[in-house]
Copies of this chain bind each other. A is one copy, B any other.
């Protein structure tokens, strides 16, 4: 069972928009055992879309298109699909009713002709009703092959994938089961890790694939298996994980949550042990807080944070003493440890993490070299910090500092 995802839109090809739709669709297809053979992003151009459809039809069973279904003039997908199927566009009354309902609920003003035209669909298409927007999804078949066209607006596309596409694909095809498990590893480079686990890796069964996923100071190791017997797959993959963990026992910090990452592992642990977290961020600018609060359930362990970007706010809000800042500079071990300690007190939390540094491109309230970041952890019993040099590219300095902070937090929380 193979699928191809075709995303349509010039905005992707000029780099203005990052294609997040494909990753979402791929993840959902994977869960029901459909492998994505290829993801192809093409221009808003009829000939190019026709060519992409033809190529995809020769390679895979299911073709999913997204984008190019809005009401405006830059849309082209629908006409192109009709041409590909030698079909014509006809008005679908159910779609028109849905458009009218959405319009009357959200918009003051008359229904426009361009919106009415969204009710035109190829006569052979089964409509996938889009309750969140005016562009309908479409399901078309050609022998054993299925073509699915979805709007490009992410939340509309996502609802259609979850509610319509996945159940229908499962119903039509006999899908195998695909299992991924991902290990979080800290403190070993890619090649050192590879050498450490080489003997184990060489003995992996053929149906289990291993991948190394390094990213800004953290490493993920992914095992993937595929088959029709889910229980067997789980047993086999778990057996391999049980073999590899002893080889990396000081560097292994848990299995990544199915949809999550390090912060989810931390969050789950905090919830389990009934402890709370707070933070004081300077150079990371709220990004650590945002990592935690983007996941549901944060209110059970996350007390809050301060983004004390200016020196004055570190003094006023966190109660860092002016003398301490003047003596050691705002980017220092002493200041970051006071920030963590005071955040712990301010929010009455069990753990606190703090960051201060200079992410560049120019120097801020301190003379610290660009890329210097101090990160501290405070608990009820102790405060400690580490200093990092994280390069001179602003966005990367921030992202690496966030990763390092999460790594220190992970290690602290798993000590307890």
CB within 8 Å for A294 and B302 given contacts A15-B25, A16-B182: no
Cβ of A203 < 8 Å from any Cβ of B? no
B42 in contact with A38 (CB, 8 Å): yes
CB within 8 Å for A15 and B10 given contacts A72-B191, A290-B290: no
The interface size bin for chain A is 35 or more
Of the candidates B15, B289, B304, B362, the one whose C-beta lies within 8 Å of that of A310 is B304
A18 in contact with B23 (CB, 8 Å): yes
A307 in contact with B289 (CB, 8 Å): yes
Q: In the complex, what residue of chain B is closest to A135 when comparing beta carbons?
A: B190
Cβ of A406 < 8 Å from any Cβ of B? no
A41 to B215, CA, bound (A): 19
For chain A, residues 1 to 51, give those with C-beta under 8 angstroms from any C-beta of chain B: 10-20, 22-30, 35-44, 48
Residues of B within 8 A of A90 (CB): none
For chain A, residues 162 to 188, give those with C-beta under 8 angstroms from any C-beta of chain B: 178, 180, 182
Q: Secondary structure at chain A's binding surface: helix, strand, loop or mixed?
A: mixed
Residues of B within 8 A of A208 (CB): none
B191 in contact with A112 (CB, 8 Å): yes
Cβ of A201 < 8 Å from any Cβ of B? yes
Of the candidates B20, B44, B304, the one whose C-beta lies within 8 Å of that of A18 is B20
Residues of B within 8 A of A19 (CB): 18-19, 22-23, 39
B286 in contact with A290 (CB, 8 Å): yes
A222 in contact with B305 (CB, 8 Å): no
Shortest distance in angstroms between A167's beta carbon and chain B's nearest beta carbon?
18
A290 in contact with B294 (CB, 8 Å): no
Of the candidates B192, B307, B362, the one whose C-beta lies within 8 Å of that of A286 is B307
Cβ of A194 < 8 Å from any Cβ of B? yes
Q: In the complex, what residue of chain B is closest to A25 when comparing beta carbons?
A: B15
Cβ of A195 < 8 Å from any Cβ of B? yes
A362 to B305, CA, bound (A): 22
B306 in contact with A304 (CB, 8 Å): yes
For chain A, residues 272 to 302, give those with C-beta under 8 angstroms from any C-beta of chain B: 279, 281, 283-290, 292-294, 296-299, 302
A74 to B360, CA, bound (A): 35
Shortest distance in angstroms between A15's beta carbon and chain B's nearest beta carbon?
3
Would you give 6 A-B contacts (Cβ < 8 Å), ordered by A?
A: A15-B22, A38-B43, A39-B41, A299-B309, A305-B307, A317-B317
Q: A279-B307, A286-B289 are in contact. List 6 more A-B contacts (CB 8 A).
A: A38-B52, A39-B40, A74-B211, A286-B305, A287-B293, A296-B394
Could you tell me which A residues sit within 8 Å of B by CB distance? 10-20, 22-30, 35-44, 48, 52, 55, 70-74, 107, 109, 112, 114-115, 134, 153, 155, 178, 180, 182, 189-195, 201, 209-216, 222, 224, 279, 281, 283-290, 292-294, 296-299, 302-310, 312-313, 316-317, 346-348, 360-362, 364-365, 391, 393-396, 398
Q: Which 4 A-B pairs have the closest CB atoms?
A: A285-B293, A15-B27, A286-B289, A286-B286
